[in-house]
Structure 1
């Protein structure tokens, strides 16, 4: 049996779902192949979306016409804006979700997306044709002997490629707990010259809430304000639930240390590298031996289930050791578990062999997105899936010699930072996004993702006209509030007593509202209490007025910083315009350092700016290439 499509997506995780809907919404006839249609967009680890820098990525996916933000808003059971004590450049939304409702909301979207078919099967072979030394994707073959043919293929297989599960000394092949691994597919890809390697990740124990003594824990409530992930979402509809915190102790640590001899991380079973920023509890004990306690966060898995997730207790120790250690925590002394934590090893592919479009440099029409590129996290996967889906649709709809592409710069999106880091620097451990990885954080705020990306998505045909009109409405509202503040005069005698009460210097003469906004002690809420006309102007906005007002306030308050960072980004963009691919035979450039020659030869950067970000390529190497380009 043979099926024919424009784009095939292998794997229906977070990368696969975004890739498939993006390609289909751009008009490409798309097939999403998944092993289990009941576990689409499964939240394998924590049932939460967002967090530091990850929340910004979800807002960017939404601005590009993607789905993750809307699904999260529809299934959120707790929402918080992290980093509120810091500047808005690093404010990061995060939501706890109902795991099962998240899956079925995604399934509803996939089932109602035009141009998109689902096929339940397992892919085992990449089909490639070769003409004149150039390799091109033809399609895939499944374990049931079905050939699915297409011009473009996106691999988003997550942790399933030769997946191996570990609990203590016990090892079982699997892509997730109780789900089979995918064998042979990696080998059908690497035989074409694409490099693969192994990584490791893990997940914590799942706990029955009925066995927890919550009186021994600290409650952590969510926020009930206007913030959401998607500007198009309705208000949160599910019951909002608290999370809970507690700590490990010396008895817990002693029990865990007693099981280290049987830990797959320390007995030689696991050789691959795990995530640095989400270590297992046993890794924490070894890395920080003097630390007397570690925080744990008990989080609900859903609105109605008793299953809870113990964040901070990822482990692959023997299950009896995990449970015995948990019972040394006062709140968990009678704990019952649904399943222990486990580790998983899996295959990934070297991302330096990809273009910024996420297309392979070796096999034309072959794209990779998500954990198969060495990343960790639903959000990083979804961002990559969006870009891969866009570019696969563009390629499928283009003619030979008229290949269109879509990429994002480091000053345009966290997704751009993520992909540039992957293809330029590669990975030696699971990659996780942080605000500190972005040099233009003030430009990449969570509140202005629409401003950066929605017009681009609309021009691609990805963002709908409705999505674009929502952005235009928001844009007009921001400009309206800024104009009101710039043009509305206030008298000193009317507001000086209130200013002194708020701890800010009284006025010597009248001023505009915009002058007050720039003061660090003041915000729109405080000013609106003093000057009712500002509150009235905000209330007159047609929709989502609080979000519009916040965006306007940030834009005004940080105007100087924003403009300065734009200037810095523009200077670097000039190097992005200098194309160097095909201009040099790096192995022959003796003026460059040996390391620079080797790295440049391996990665073959597109631009001088990309070359400057490759580890081992020094500023003097860049100057040499500039001089040679001048010649």
Structure 2
């Protein structure tokens, strides 16, 4: 089948994390999909650190998996270390994180995509978009091809008019060793889109053989590592590779300051906004001048390679400054560079120009996902790609859009924040952004989302069966514990060992287990509980669900009640044709913001900066409430 006479259902522009998830989702929903990328060797490349997950990001990866995406499966197959972060805190804060083998990660992604039906590939650069009125109909490539499509998803990452900065040097590029992409921004601006510039950066890569690890602190993985995917995927973690921790010091800071006048960040050549929560090392010592040291995480890039990612030392300073300063860090005295750190500026499009399904408001059938929307991070990009891929495919099938709410999923928080509030700096997900984070835990993403994904045709029967079994076993075990009484002879020795108040008469296990100082494993030796676990094949995943319920059911119930209140406002729609200018009792700022963002519900309107509670009251009156 020739590219010249094929009209695809979905064309995905860009093969990064957003593009890969988008292509997989649309193809798995039955849409004939074409993935166009500048280099097929770099599909889903980990351009920055070789890790997936982390605080809030790990929750997103679990959600992608529950919805039928590939990121978690690939991470499990290529992991070299796994950690569950924040285990000392409540379960809303537990966040899985894995180091991956960077080369294996990209190779595994490509293999999975090549095994996906309905998905074609083409290596070329897209340098133009084809429109008919306010509707997109295809793309133009650098080789001069025009390829037709019903829908197009742009996931261009940092490649749109990308500029790389190292000290005084500036050159075009979307990533080290790769050219930038031109033409798309210009076509979109001509159609009336607003664009902006953002910045991100990456640390040097160095040779592990030149480092002295005896001067660093070893950071091993978990003793009993978990996985990301809820499926029975294979994991590479029969062994693990350690990371290491060291620190900058006043000497390092002094050497870095010597290069500030030559830094593109400080001499005015970079004027765009960088990520607040992942700043460059020069930005850190400038903003936090009172600090004498900053953490440096020494992260291996794979099982066999000597390449090391110097996490915490992101920089665009000149090469000679990078070289001198890094050698003053303990363990780096004889370091050999494989690649210097650099900053990159690129175009993005303020995401208030999108609908909740990630389709643009100005042009129908055109979707944006990833860094083009002002986000940073593999996980945020992959989540948007998945949702854009789903919605593009559904659009070609004349089906209703698939939209997830803030109280259902971190992905819903991410997209709603972007669409409703916009962003003027690279957006990164945090647990604090989610109002209902006790509900949106990493352990229950499958319970929250698998049925929704199955209903639209993405999640397979295997996933639904697995989560159905999990729910049934969890509920049955909780009921068992609610009805099980233990004698003081059975439980008091356990309580005494924990220095807890003993009981004087038989009591329900459910009540005793709610004590915060007790862990469920403390109760597993009670004969009746042990027998139930063995007879019903209860695994650690079920036990974790039960323990969270025992300890946090009050908090969970309260958050569900609050979420229900939000849903009542979500169910008050605002017509797309509503004219805010006619509502003179709205504040001027509210009329301006509401007219620009065009919220679809009262709840969304209430989250727009500049829209006050009194403005919402006015709107409720107009909506007949």
TM-score by length of 1: 0.97
Partner of 2:179: 180
Partner of 2:349: 349
Partner of 2:244: 244
Partner of 2:522: 526
Distance 2:245 2:412 in 1: 35
Partner of 2:135: 136
TM-aligned CA deviation for residue 557 of structure 1: 1.8
Aligned residues of 2:7 and 2:150 also touching (Cα < 8 A) = no
Partner of 1:387: 387
Say which is worse superposed, 18-27 or 465-474, in terms of deviation.
465-474
TM-aligned CA deviation for residue 477 of structure 1: 2.2
Distance 1:389 1:532 in 2: 50
Q: CA distance change for structure 1 residues 28 and 542 in 2, over 3 Å: closer, same or farther?
A: farther
Does residue 559 in structure 1 map to residue 553 in structure 2? yes
Aligned residues of 1:581 and 1:604 also touching (Cα < 8 A) = no
Any idea what SS the aligned residue of 1:60 has?
helix
Any idea what SS the aligned residue of 2:42 has?
coil
Partner of 1:283: 283
Distance 1:295 1:226 in 2: 24
Distance 1:230 1:271 in 2: 40
TM-aligned CA deviation for residue 227 of structure 1: 2.1
TM-aligned CA deviation for residue 497 of structure 1: 2.0
Does residue 302 in structure 1 map to residue 302 in structure 2? yes
Distance 1:223 1:490 in 2: 34
Any idea what SS the aligned residue of 1:558 has?
helix
Q: CA distance change for structure 1 residues 505 and 621 in 2, over 3 Å: closer, same or farther?
A: same
Does residue 408 in structure 1 map to residue 404 in structure 2? yes
Does residue 259 in structure 1 map to residue 253 in structure 2? no
Aligned CA RMSD, in angstroms, stands at 1.3
Say which is worse superposed, 517-526 or 207-216, in terms of deviation.
517-526
TM-aligned CA deviation for residue 488 of structure 1: 2.2
Counting only pairs closer than 5 Å after superposition, residues 330-479 of structure 1 correspond to structure 2 as: 330-398=330-398, 403-479=399-475
Partner of 2:108: 105
Partner of 1:168: 167
Q: CA distance change for structure 1 residues 532 and 213 in 2, over 3 Å: closer, same or farther?
A: farther
Return 5+ residue gaps in structure 2 as ranges: none
TM-aligned CA deviation for residue 536 of structure 1: 4.0
Does residue 537 in structure 1 map to residue 540 in structure 2? no
Distance 2:415 2:509 in 1: 41
Q: CA distance change for structure 1 residues 273 and 540 in 2, over 3 Å: closer, same or farther?
A: farther
Distance 1:88 1:460 in 2: 29
TM-aligned CA deviation for residue 505 of structure 1: 1.6
Aligned residues of 1:503 and 1:521 also touching (Cα < 8 A) = no
Distance 1:34 1:259 in 2: 37
TM-aligned CA deviation for residue 189 of structure 1: 1.7
Distance 1:301 1:440 in 2: 35
Partner of 2:74: 71
Aligned residues of 1:243 and 1:298 also touching (Cα < 8 A) = yes
Say which is worse superposed, 581-590 or 156-165, in terms of deviation.
581-590
Q: What do residues 19-68 of structure 1 show as CA deviations (whole Å, max 9, x unaligned)?
A: 11111111111111111111110111000000000000000000001110
Determine which of 579, 593, 617 is the counterpart of 1:623.
Answer: 617
Partner of 1:211: 210
Partner of 1:323: 323
Partner of 2:117: 114
Q: CA distance change for structure 1 residues 118 and 539 in 2, over 3 Å: closer, same or farther?
A: farther
Aligned residues of 1:73 and 1:233 also touching (Cα < 8 A) = no
Any idea what SS the aligned residue of 1:447 has?
coil
Does residue 14 in structure 1 map to residue 17 in structure 2? yes
Distance 2:8 2:576 in 1: 33
Aligned residues of 1:299 and 1:309 also touching (Cα < 8 A) = yes
Aligned residues of 1:251 and 1:328 also touching (Cα < 8 A) = yes
Any idea what SS the aligned residue of 2:446 has?
helix
Partner of 2:543: 549
Distance 2:87 2:196 in 1: 39
Distance 2:186 2:192 in 1: 10
Counting only pairs closer than 5 Å after superposition, residues 181-200 of structure 1 correspond to structure 2 as: 181-200=180-199
Distance 2:533 2:254 in 1: 57
Any idea what SS the aligned residue of 1:455 has?
helix
TM-score by length of 2: 0.98
Aligned residues of 1:140 and 1:147 also touching (Cα < 8 A) = yes
Aligned residues of 2:246 and 2:330 also touching (Cα < 8 A) = no
Aligned residues of 2:404 and 2:412 also touching (Cα < 8 A) = yes
Distance 1:541 1:276 in 2: 49
Q: What do residues 314-349 of structure 1 show as CA deviations (whole Å, max 9, x unaligned)?
A: 000001101100111131111111011100000111
Distance 2:514 2:229 in 1: 28
Any idea what SS the aligned residue of 2:408 has?
coil
Aligned residues of 2:275 and 2:426 also touching (Cα < 8 A) = yes
Distance 1:604 1:179 in 2: 38
Q: What do residues 220-250 of structure 1 show as CA deviations (whole Å, max 9, x unaligned)?
A: 1101325211111435225410010011011
TM-aligned CA deviation for residue 601 of structure 1: 0.9
Distance 1:539 1:38 in 2: 48
Return 5+ residue gaps in structure 1 as ranges: none
TM-aligned CA deviation for residue 539 of structure 1: 4.2
Aligned residues of 1:417 and 1:438 also touching (Cα < 8 A) = yes
